[in-house]
Chain A
Amino acid sequence: MPGMADVTGDSFSASLIRGAFLAQTRWKAMKSRTARRYMELHALSASLELFKPGAVVPWVSYLFPTELLASYGITPMIPEIGAATLTGTDLRGPVESAADRMPLARDVCSYHRIALAAVENDMLPAPTMCLGTTPLCLGKECLLEMLALRYDAPFREIRVPLPPDEVEASSEVVADVAEQMRVLHEDIGRWTGRKPDLKKAIGLSNRASAAWGRVMAERLAGRLEMNGRRTFATVFLGQLLWGTEEGARDFERLLTERGRSDLLAPALDEGRRLKRLLWLHTVPHHDSEIFEMMERRGAVVIFEEMGQMHLETVDPDDPFPGLARRLTDNVLWGSSTRRARLNVALAKRLKVDGAVHFNHWGCRHGLGSLPVVRSAFVEAGIPFLAIDGDALGRGGAQQEKSRQAMESFLELL
């Protein structure tokens, strides 16, 4: 059985194994015909291209406007997605061992720690450019710029001021961010020697946004209930595909019953009403036990905070302000008070029975806002639980403790 190491090599045999592996993934997608499976296929297929010799490999932050890369036909390498993917394969053991040997402190975000260990041990391709954004955290900017220095690659950061708590970012701020994007888009062309087609990339991104926006509107209106964990996993991978033909088609698949059939929340069980929960922050990617336990206990995550992105289309003739607005007013950016306000409003709109905050290992951004978010939920009378864990973890004492906390929480609900 070929493993991840076999499909990422640059030998002839590796390319054969890669072809066979992708054919198998394609077969699965064709059989299911769901957006989720196709998204997996296309994200994997595009990412494997990054391992080929001479590939342009832009390491970018999670919220980076990837349309700027799609304009040049370039696939992004997002450290969080790379780390989550690797730790779900047979490379988990080697990459974890490599991370343990690394001199980087163990209390750093595990997404970034694993990504660094992976690139330094040839499990992820080395960057040819590193492109950051101030949102969401400082840690990944430190990682990206350090990688740029080590691999002698250019580094750019889109500087995004914090938005006000109560209103949208000002038009001056949006214009400043838009200008930074415009310059960066030109820089990418200069570095790669490729010709851009931003209008096409934006058109494709808009198709995906329109579809995703409709799905989210249906979910917010309560007419569509989707499994928040699986939906997040799908959107998480989808970050690699904004602005591509595949991305547009995959997000549009979500508009059909068949296309979203494996993302739907469990149906009501013998007249019992399921407890509906809002999930805040990232999810444990490889530890499904807690979610299975929730379903056994009659609860389900019906909405995820991090899925709220790319909900509006942007002007293809003047795309930079629209792309900038997605960063300046991202729901996860800004002060803790802003995050708390938006999430409480979301919970009220969805009429959830409770909210769960996942305290991802080493995430100062998420953990730091927890006290304010918690007190806002308590004040609003919405049951709230914060559980500690590692988004890349699998089992262990911490997971067990979180599972028990979740069990008690569900009993209280």
Chain B
Amino acid sequence: MPYCYYTCNLLPLGLIARAGYTPRWLGSRLVDANAPARREALSIHPMTCPYVTKLVAAADALFAGSAGGEAEERRSGPPSEASCDRGGAAGAAGAAGAAGAAEAAGAAEAAASSTQTRDLTGALRGDLGGSSDDCLVVPGGCDAARRMGDLLAATYPELVFVLSMPRSAGPEAVKTLAADLRRLEDRLLTRGAMTPAHDPKPGLAPGTAPSVDYPAVPRPGGVFVVAGPLTDDSLLRLIGRLGAHVSGLESCTSPDRWRPLATLDYAAPPAPGQTADAAVAAGAAGRDHGDLAAKMLETGMCPRRSTTQRRAHLGRRLDESRPASIIYARQSFCDPGAYDALLMAQLARERGLPFLEIEVDFPFEANGPLLTRVEAFLEAQLLDDDLLDRLDDRLDDGLDDGLDDDLGDTALS
């Protein structure tokens, strides 16, 4: 099956799989930052968040055909786990979608054989008839993401679909999103994809979604981490290495977010075995995109969403996680993140929790100054905890002594 890459996991992956594509997060296909840039590579303004910058480069490399690894991958089947990018998300079964690794490998081989005889650049740029053609969906939640979609759609018009994402979740917003989802599905189907597959949980196949997970079970009394997209759990591991533990992660790539999103699907799928043409002809009948849109907006409570709703969501998550401190890992040049960090700082103040905001790159990298800041922040807390424990012990001792005295007095009387 061809890949349908996507930039943000606020997307019903089931819908993509049913249209005959293997969904795949573009964040797992990043270009090596040290590799020499192509002369004609797309350039974007440096005052753009690293996530968007890196994804534009990744999409450009894929679609311009200069991604040697991708071309190579098509010739030799899906990459092994070991050959994946730093996130490890582009796993071998990235093409799995429905039917497990064996079928996925078969589908990828079929795709590879049809691609071998053609120039990849030409295939991706113009010839849209083949089922091996990949495409990209860009959910345009924030201005930067929307403009990323604009740029890629202008450069690769037939390959990129920009999906507008509303801030609110009101009935009209849901209606508009439902219509856009329907358009997306129709477009994917009419692009000549294969017969829709029928895997109930395609999003959970390795490589299809961001693969960040908690390195250890989160528990109260630790650090609550808020972050933008992450390729892996290195930020969480860093906290563990520094002697603290994690109470929760709030990120668009956190397991609490991507798992429910990855399994989203509409209620009434097309009949099994239905061809692409038939599915298109069926139109909207039986496809409840409204319900899907509502669920997407309910689950995807990210920083670009309504501040009021986001505040309630964050408050709820803090109450559930019961952390001892909060670290906000914000990407530079991220507007929603900037205002969200203010909101989180306020929530931290209200709860008397220490708060640290750090500026991070994408993918996350624990460089020297950042490491020092996190270390100092956590050390201060551990010190505080230690002091508090000792104070508690002393108070307890004092209280016990007093109690003994009181009891003694009572006994004497």
Contact = CB atoms under 8 A, between A and B. Distances in A.
B48 A159 contact: no
Where chain A touches its partner, the secondary structure class is helix
Find the residue from B143, B306, B337 having the highest chain A CB count within 10 A: B143
Contact of A367 (B45, B338, B340, B345): B45
Interface residues of B, number: 46
A137 B143 contact: yes
A104 B147 contact: no
B168 A371 contact: no
21 contacts: A103-B357, A104-B338, A104-B339, A105-B330, A105-B334, A105-B338, A107-B47, A107-B332, A107-B333, A107-B338, A134-B167, A137-B335, A138-B304, A142-B339, A148-B307, A159-B168, A336-B151, A359-B47, A368-B148, A369-B150, A370-B44
Interface string A138-152: 110111011011000
Interface in A148-199: 148-149, 155, 157, 159, 161-162, 176, 180
B167 A372 contact: no
Contacts of B153: 335, 337
Contacts of A143: 339
Contact of B164 (A108, A145, A162): A162
B335 A157 contact: no
Nearest to B332: A107
Given A335-B153, A364-B335, A368-B150, A145 B143 contact: no
A103 B167 contact: no
Interface pairs A-B: 3 shortest CB-CB: A368-B147, A336-B150, A364-B143
A362 interface: yes
A365 interface: yes
A342 interface: no
Interface string B121-161: 00000000000000000000011101110110110000000
B338 A371 contact: no
Contacts of A359: 45, 47
Contacts of A375: 154
Contacts of B170: 159
Interface of A: 103-105, 107-109, 134, 137-139, 141-143, 145-146, 148-149, 155, 157, 159, 161-162, 176, 180, 335-337, 340, 359, 361-362, 364-365, 367-372, 375, 388
B336 interface: yes
Contacts of A335: 150, 153, 162
A180 B166 CA distance: 15
B341 A105 contact: yes
Interface string B290-309: 00000000000000101110
B42 interface: yes
A146 B146 CA distance: 22
Contacts of A361: 47
A352 to B, nearest CB: 23
B307 A369 contact: no
